[in-house]
Amino acid sequence: MTKMTRRELLAGGTALAAGSTLGAPMIWAQNIKDVTLRQFGTGVSNLNEVAAKVKEDLGFTLEMTALDSDSVTQRAATQPESFDIADIEYWICKKVWPTGNLQAMDTSKIKNYDKIVGIFRSGKLTPESEIAQGTAPHTVGFVEGQNGTEFVDNESGWMTLIPTIYNADTLGIRPDLIGRPINNWSELLNPEFKGKASILDISSIGIMDMAMVVESMGEYKYPDKGNMTKEEIDMTLGIFTEAKKNGQFRAFWKSFDESVNLMASGEVVIQSMWSPAITAVKSKGIPCVYQPLEEGYRSWGGGIGMSAALSGLERDAAYEYINWYLDGWVGGFLMRQGYYSAVPETSKNYMTEDEWGFWFEGKPAQGDITNPFGDVMETAGAVRDGGSFYDRMGKVACWNAVMDENQYMVRKWNEFIAA
Amino acid sequence: MRLSPNSKSLMMVSPLVAVLFVFLVCPIAMIAIVSFWRATEFSIIPAFVFENYEFLFGSSVTYRVFFNTFKYALITWAATLLIGFTVAYFLAFHIRTLRWQIALFLLCTIPFWTSNIIRMISWIPFLGRNGIANSTLISWGVIDEPLEWLLFSDFAVVLAFVHLYTLFMVVPIFNTMMRIDKSLIEAARDAGANGAQILWNVIIPLTKPGIMIGTIFVVTLVMGDFITVRFMSGSQSANVGRLISNDVALLAYPSASATAVVLLCTVLIVIGILLRFVDIRKEL
């Protein structure tokens, strides 16, 4: 390949810029405007508003590419030259880190490091918390040095991903069509909802929801839901295959929109769901609850990591970006959509007291709660499903994970779909 | 410089050969090659192994999915043939003026002015539990409970297929019917044949090439589809196309290629069998 890569072009350009302003003061501030950081990730946090704000506050350009999680994994693992910043989930990090395409970040350069929520550092939200199963973020959060490939179990000062956004997932229900309290994951397979249940057709997440159900039914207690043996996979999918054959499920969904439509149309009354989908159903004036369940939540978290190829001025810009990310504006932006930010206390400065009370503290809304785009999401008196941050994140039963038997699981999952 | 007739004709076909080689032969050859490669979770490794095929033929899911694919193809074929033949027959033999034939024929194509996906998805609110079909039937008193099997079922899949592909049956059949010499029908009538006999002994044999072309269209389209099955069955059924798309989503390109090769061979065999019945080249 003789074509000049974009990176070489960029490096040449910055070198030129450096040369022309040599000796002048503020050389760094001049140059950083020429930097372009290429970020890619899943759609949740790849928001154009963030890129626009970066340009405004920091001066450099952030290019965003949104992909689905399979493509994100593939790209992080196979095309290290195609990105500067990877916005990935922690379980993807576990898969991708050993390829050496990412470099660890020096926590002493992260201004708000000390304020990052405990989940991402010691693994404990509060000193009494128990660490959930699956790929808990702190287990893949640190390595021994900048180019370390082995994860370490302490705060080594070298962080793999800087957490950006996370949440606790549970089942969504239509309270008006069910008409009684729902308290357990096992209700998903309750024959009462025959032909009115759904589960998501994304194997790595779907299997975890299934495990929550199986455990709740009292069928089996997994040593680690996030890392099942072949037998456990067979057993779990066996239970669900039988339910499928008995007509328990109305449909399976793969995209966010599908889950919204299934719920809003009343085709389905109970299903695995994501937080913004609940909001989308509610915004149509249809009652929908993100039901807290006794067994706890299935949680997920994402973070941004740096490409191993990043160095010099670009790396400085990346640190600048990360510090800005944790400074509160993005956190406020994301928290007003129902997600959580890694440093909640800085986000507070960018939220009204009512918003903070509703989204974080679980207090009843005083007035209309709007999302960052100005749509009214809740009116006065409403309380967030599941309550406060500590109520919700304190009840995480497992984290999204990637199993050692992942390929076997995927094959079995395909059989389940075809059954 | 004078060219011999031989090299002249060679030059005339060479652009087409070049285009087909680059855009048809090369991709298929690539798929066939990749089907022998190996894959890990992140990478595909050039190799010459049969593990993709071994897994494919060793799994009961494959047979079930192929059976499903044939089932959809067969039912869709029968329904589109029945509807397509009737529509074409009506247009060709019952509409007297050419102007009306053209007008009504264009009417048939109107749904095709919108995208495939939209035509398919618009069935979902119609067939849903609280959809138009169910609420109408309930208000007429035909049923008391909403019919669950209308949506996210094999019925919905086949319905969408028939809706999407009937025109591919109408067009070639209508085309061949229009070429049937009307005097043949008069002769049959004069010889004492009734309507059914004319249909069976004159029209159907003469329409066979059209039927065969329509059949090839419908069968190949249905066997290669994945999105209709995914949406209309609510992801609950699978055909071979979905198997391939699942593999692609999981970056298992070699396994997807192997499935694609098997599907391609299957479709070619089906077409080969169909062509034994009618010599399209002779009839056209």
User: Can you tell me the mean pLDDT for A377-393?
Assistant: 89
Q: Where are the alpha helices (DSSP H) in A201-340?
A: 203-217, 230-245, 256-264, 275-282, 312-325, 329-335
pLDDT at A185 over 90: yes
CA B104, B109, B113, B115 dihedral sign is positive
CA–CA distance from B32 to each of A102, B39, B52 (Å)?
Answer: 34, 15, 12
The DSSP element (H or E) to which A305 belongs, if any, is: strand A297-307
Residue A43 pLDDT class (50, 70, 90 cuts):
low
Any CB–CB contact under 8 A between A67 and chain B? no
For residue B237, the chain A residues in CB contact (below 8 A) are: 418
Tokens 């989503």, located at residue:
B249
Q: What is the Cα–Cα distance from B40 to B199, expressed in whole angstroms?
A: 58
Å between B40 CA and nearest CA of chain A: 9
State whether B130 and A266 contact (CB < 8 Å).
yes
Three-state secondary-structure class, residue A88: strand
pLDDT at A25 over 60: no
What's domain B66-283's superfamily in CATH?
MetI-like (1.10.3720.10)
Nearest CA among B231, B153, B119, B144 for reference residue A258: B231
| Amino acid, single-letter form, for residue B80 | T
Q: What is the Cα–Cα distance from B74 to B157, expressed in whole angstroms?
A: 13
Tokens 């929550």, located at residue:
A212
pLDDT at A4 over 70: no
SS (H, E, C) B7-57: HHHHHHHHHHHHHHHHHHHHHHHHHHHHCCCEECCCCEECCCCCHHHHHHH
Nearest CA among B42, B26, B44, B59 for reference residue B259: B59
pLDDT at A188 over 60: yes
pLDDT at A260 over 50: yes
Q: Which two tokens stand for residue B1?
A: 């410089």
Of the listed ranges A263-267, A328-332, A360-364, A415-419, the one predicted with least confidence: A415-419
Q: ipTM more than 0.90? A: no
Task: Provide the residue ranges of all domains of chain B, joining segments of one domain with +.
Answer: 66-283
Q: What's A171-295+388-418's CATH class?
A: alpha beta
For residue A407, the chain B residues in CB contact (below 8 A) are: 41
Query: Do A40 and A87 touch, CB atoms closer than 8 A?
Result: yes
What is the reported pLDDT for B70? 95
Q: What is the Cα–Cα distance from A337 to A316, expressed in whole angstroms?
A: 30
Nearest CA among B231, B99, B260, B209 for reference residue B163: B231
Angle A203-217/A230-245 helices, nearest 10 degrees?
A: 80
What is the reported pLDDT for A1? 37
Task: Provide the residue ranges of all domains of chain A, joining segments of one domain with +.
Answer: 6-17+26-166+299-350, 171-295+388-418
> If contacts are CB pairs under 8 Å, which of residues 83-112 in chain A contact chain B?
95-96, 99
What is the reported pLDDT for A85? 93
What is the reported pLDDT for A27? 46
Q: Which two tokens stand for residue A252?
A: 């399976």
Q: Answer whether A6-17+26-166+299-350 and A171-295+388-418 agree in fold.
A: yes
What is the reported pLDDT for A8? 47
Q: Which residues partner with A298 through β-bridges?
A: A169, A398
Q: Which two tokens stand for residue A114?
A: 């000390």
pLDDT digits (tens, 9 = 90+) for B46-87: 889 998 899 889 888 889 899 999 999 999 999 999 999 999
| CATH 3.30.1490.480, applies to A6-17+26-166+299-350 | no
CA–CA distance from B228 to each of A72, A79, A144, B156, B235 (Å)?
Answer: 26, 33, 50, 9, 10
Q: Which two tokens stand for residue A362?
A: 């679980």
Q: What is the pLDDT along chain B (284 residues), one digit of tens a residue?
A: 567 888 888 888 899 999 999 999 999 999 999 999 988 766 778 889 998 899 889 888 889 899 999 999 999 999 999 999 999 999 999 988 989 999 999 988 888 888 888 888 889 889 988 889 999 999 998 888 888 889 999 999 999 999 999 999 999 999 999 989 889 999 999 999 998 999 999 999 999 999 999 999 999 999 999 999 999 998 888 899 988 988 887 778 898 999 999 999 999 999 999 888 877 776 56
pLDDT at A55 over 80: yes
Pick among A193, A414, A415, A416 to test the B interface (most B CBs inside 10 A):
A414
Query: Do A355 and A373 touch, CB atoms closer than 8 A?
Result: no
CA nearest to A204 within chain B: B250
Q: CB pairs below 8 Å between A and B: how many?
A: 73
B77 contact partners, CB below 8 Å, separation of at least 6: B215, B218, B219, B222
Phi, psi dihedral angles at B252 (to 5 degrees): -90, 65
Question: Which of B61, B124, B131 lies at the smallest CB-CB distance from A415?
Answer: B61
Q: What is the Cα–Cα distance from A28 to B35, expressed in whole angstroms?
A: 51
User: Can you tell me the mean pLDDT for A40-47?
Assistant: 77
Most confident of A24-38, A314-328, B106-120: A314-328
Question: How many residues are given for chain A?
Answer: 419
Any CB–CB contact under 8 A between A414 and chain B? yes
| Amino acid, single-letter form, for residue A169 | D
Three-state secondary-structure class, residue B60: helix
State whether B234 and A73 contact (CB < 8 Å).
no
Nearest CA among B250, B213, B264, B280 for reference residue B69: B264
Q: Which two tokens stand for residue A245?
A: 């054959």
Any CB–CB contact under 8 A between A241 and chain B? no
Pairing of strands A105-106, A158-159: antiparallel
Å between A60 CA and nearest CA of chain B: 32
CA nearest to A410 within chain B: B250
Nearest CA among A51, A119, A115 for reference residue A85: A51
pLDDT at A283 over 90: no
